[in-house]
Amino acid sequence: MRLELKQLRSRMRTTSIYVTHDQVEAMTLGDRVVVMRDGVIQQTGRPNEIYGAPANIFVAGFIGSPAMNFIRALLIAEGDDLYATAPGIRLRAPDFLRNSPILKAGKGVSLGIRPEFISVQQPNSAAGGDNAGHVDIVDQMGAEIILQVRIGETVLAVSRVDPDSPIAVGDRVILTPNPQKLHFFDVDSGAAIVR
């Protein structure tokens, strides 16, 4: 039905408003998307803008499948670097956070990372260390595998894993998020901390 709606809109060359609770429909049909929560507009923009730069934690969690992972983290300073840390997790924060007037070492943040921007490696040994966890669930999706990986109390979804990967439930893996794709949100307001 989505294809027919797109073709109809294209043929008619008219503005249309389509209301849906299905974020996939909104992202595939809309030139512009309005995300609402409890009748209040949270963000308006092109689908790729909303996906890539969500205005707040609600939008970030609503848009995308599988949903964005969220980690309650504490910022710590080491020399000139700032790290987002949680039990078993340590990620170097992007440079823009280091220079932020509102973010300082010792502040709590909500760290967001989409499952498709996390790479997974199997260590050669039972090595521990930062960002190492155990696979809880392996979902075969045909063209990809989606993993649920537990690091301490945090469970992260990881997608776009090669369907021929030998990873199995119980395996120890190391997760490496793309640092350019990390999102940071204010713990109290949920607002995005932008670049």
Residue 194 lies in a domain: no
pLDDT at 104: 76
Q: Tell me, yes or no, whether 52 lies in a domain.
A: yes
pLDDT in tens, 52-79: 999 999 999 999 999 999 999 999 989 8
- pLDDT value at position 72? 97
Identify whether 57 is part of a domain. Answer: yes
pLDDT of residue 170: 97
* Range of the structural domain that residue 105 is part of: 69-114+179-186
How many domains would you assign to the chain?
3
- Given a contact cutoff of 8 angstroms between Cβ atoms, the answer to whether 89 and 131 are in contact is yes
**pLDDT (0 to 100) of residue 103:** 72
105 backbone dihedrals φ, ψ, rounded to 5°: -55, 140
pLDDT for the residue numbered 126? 54
Any domain includes 195: no
Give the number of other CB atoms < 10 A from CB of residue 111.
Answer: 23
Q: What does the pLDDT look like over 97-121, one tens digit per residue?
A: 777 777 778 889 999 999 999 999 9
**Strands, E, within the chain: which ranges?**
33-37, 40-45, 69-78, 81-86, 89-92, 108-113, 118-121, 132-140, 145-151, 154-161, 172-177, 183-186
Predicted TM-score (pTM) of the model is 0.89
32: its two tokens: 């512009």
| CATH at 81 | 2.40.50
> Which regions of the chain are under pLDDT 50?
none
pLDDT of residue 49: 97
Of 28, 102, 39, 19, residue with least CA distance to 63: 28
Residues 48 and 80 in one domain: no
**For residues 183 and 192, is the Cβ–Cβ distance under 8 A?**
yes
Q: Do residues 83 and 91 lie in contact, with contact meaning Cβ atoms separated by under 8 Å?
A: yes
